[in-house]
């Protein structure tokens, strides 16, 4: 079992649950009720669910890698791919937050914190067998 990737999978699961529970309540529903142009609102709804699909699939992949359900070499690449995605999400959210002009934006746009944790743990897990011999 890869302890780093398992930890990343658990954080990814919590992030996915938060996305559906809090994200729907705090972002999706208010956005759909806003005065956005209807096509823009539906595109944003689709984007919300694109993220949903990614969160679910990446969580499943991380659990599969952590539990040794894929060959070690494939697991290395899968964990690294997921880590890079989450790292990119974190960086992009911080770029937007710092450039937004919103007071306290990095705290208000807090998703990056989860993304960084998942990215770091998945990255550590992707090289744990080669670097530290953490069992898979």
Mean pLDDT of 4-13: 96
Residue 4, C-beta contacts closer than 8 angstroms, at least 6 positions apart = 121, 122, 124, 125, 128, 134
The rounded radius of gyration (Å) of the Cα atoms in the chain is: 17
Rounded Cα–Cα distance for residues 55 and 23 (Å): 13
Range list of H helices, the chain: 3-18, 29-33, 38-66, 72-99, 105-108, 111-131
User: Is pLDDT of 136 > 90?
Assistant: no
Give residue limits of the domains in the chain.
Answer: 3-131
The pLDDT of residue 129 is: 53
The pLDDT of residue 9 is: 97
pLDDT tens readout for residues 75-117: 999 999 999 999 999 999 999 999 999 999 999 999 999 999 9
User: What is the DSSP code (8-state) at residue 76?
Assistant: H
Rounded Cα–Cα distance for residues 7 and 3 (Å): 6
Mean pLDDT of 19-39: 93
The pLDDT of residue 132 is: 46
Mean pLDDT of 112-136: 79
Buried b / exposed e along 38-73 (16+ C-beta atoms within 10 A): eeeeeebeeebeeebebbeebbebbbbbbeeebeee
pLDDT tens readout for residues 37-78: 999 999 999 999 999 999 999 999 999 999 999 998 899 999
pTM: 0.88
Residue 127's pLDDT band (cuts 50, 70, 90): confident
């Amino acid at each position: 079992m890869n302890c780093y990737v398992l930890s990343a999978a658990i954080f990814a699961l919590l992030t996915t649950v938060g996305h559906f529970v809090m994200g729907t309540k705090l972002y999706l529903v208010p956005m759909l009720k806003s005065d956005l142009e209807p096509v823009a609102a539906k595109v944003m709804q689709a984007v919300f669910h694109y993220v949903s699909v990614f969160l679910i699939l990446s969580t499943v992949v991380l659990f599969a890698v952590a539990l040794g359900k894929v060959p070690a070499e494939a697991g290395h690449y899968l964990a690294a791919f997921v880590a890079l995605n989450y790292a990119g999400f974190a960086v992009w959210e911080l770029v937007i937050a710092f450039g937004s002009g919103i007071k306290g934006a990095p705290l208000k746009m807090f998703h990056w914190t989860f993304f960084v944790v998942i990215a770091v743990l998945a990255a550590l897990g992707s090289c744990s067998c080669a670097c530290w011999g953490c069992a898979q």
